[in-house]
Structure 1
């Protein structure tokens, strides 16, 4: 509930000042001026790749500055509405102040979240893979439920989704789903979802209507920029092509367009079948392989298995990060942060994940500070 009091406004002012410092707003104003001047150069687009990179940096800096300025303006409007409402006894003005404060708190959470993303990859795109774990056919159905949940979450945040591989299950659901999420802070945000997800419900495939527990694993990788080099020896690769069996429109199954790449030294296997051509599928699969090898290198250098993906664990009991209980009661609870809700439909059907994602990153910041 919004704290519409003088003390509450002071607390919001303090949060806003802290975020302004974390985001280096004054520095970014200078960056904006510099990049705007650079983009005005007649030869700016002579190098299209460099120009696009510059425009992305300019857009990100503008977003941070405009977000901060908008939040500060909203705080001033809320304070003015509150003070005038107190003086005149106007309930409408007090209600307006409360609405502005609630909106401002949501804006500040977004700005704080952005300030916690210190790695350049956090601000970029993500490759998400959902894989069924323990539970047989039920796990494949759960895999598809999670896939749909993340699609809706991405829609809510205005991110675009490209489905790269969606392998149908034996009878229901999906045996695997891989998709690319493009949008601001996509990788940073979705890192919160990496791990084992547990579902408890009455089995829709069981004639006796018994309760079933199933699992699915979620892997989140960054889409690597072109300037990050990952050496891959072609001799280390086995490339197989086969008929695509997933979604892809008319004609997708008529040629050997699907691609499976095996990196022999590590045993990593990457597949893609949802693009129209074999070349496109191969290019995406190579991109995923680059990301996974890059991740392994970071882990090796840091000597920590949880640098990006976390420790490798079985997709089953005892390893889950979040539980989704549909029976005998309804509850979604993150076991790392304690964030929970009884509105399971909002989470699973509407993709309302922000509380869990923000809660995770706030928890990580607290763990690092302690």
Structure 2
């Protein structure tokens, strides 16, 4: 199955030169040194490894899927082109998508992906490229499409065809559930809310004022129930001067949200979720930077789940504070 390791530039370059199909995450300075080949990558500084969570800027996290991929096609997409990603899906397989964080293409993808034609016809797994937390605003997240030339405004995809004898499944682990507080709805889609442009228990209100008055812990996301699937929207900031709230993913008009219940023991809760996955070995996975920070995952293990720590996760749509994983098994 897949191979997930932290490797040096020289070690990764050797795999690329052997024509391996690779998914890569690491510092821009490292990814920029790699030769052309069948790989995509994105900037990242934090990882879950077999030894536990860690920050690493001198090695590249490598997921080698060479023994899974019957064919692999690398593509880079502008915001306009990305609307057609479903047209490029393999007939039997999956697609990995990496989008640069803090970018216009991320905002358009997050707002529009549910309207993309054929986007739900095949598993779409992915993540949002980021940088070290202390470098946010100083460095720009980048994506790479099979060469050392980084993109700040393009998404990159690896379309993977699987042998007929293989099946794949895309799932999420979300430890958060809706709490019992007020129901919150929004009068417009977007990454920000201000003034009295939301409905709190059905009445016009200001979300920043509600958060302050109710003593809400903004480490907890807003959670919506999408036909039984709990989908998070994380709080990026609350501006008490402007009385506005910024989000890491868009909220949508017509959806009802509640702030999540606290998770008392992240590792224990995660282990309980993993207990039901023993028959589905994880091939690809990513976990959210907010989970890493808020649950203090440095040095802690999350079962057999390893992969990059990301600035957002993709399971068809943009997710927050969620672990996304893809399993490839025998048919």
> TM-score normalised to the size of structure 2?
0.26
| TM norm structure 1 | 0.24
Q: Which is strand-richer, 1 or 2? A: 2
Higher RCO (CA 8 Å, separation ≥ 6 residues): 2
Structure with a larger share of its residues in helix: 1
Task: Point out the structure with max Rg over C-alpha.
Answer: 1
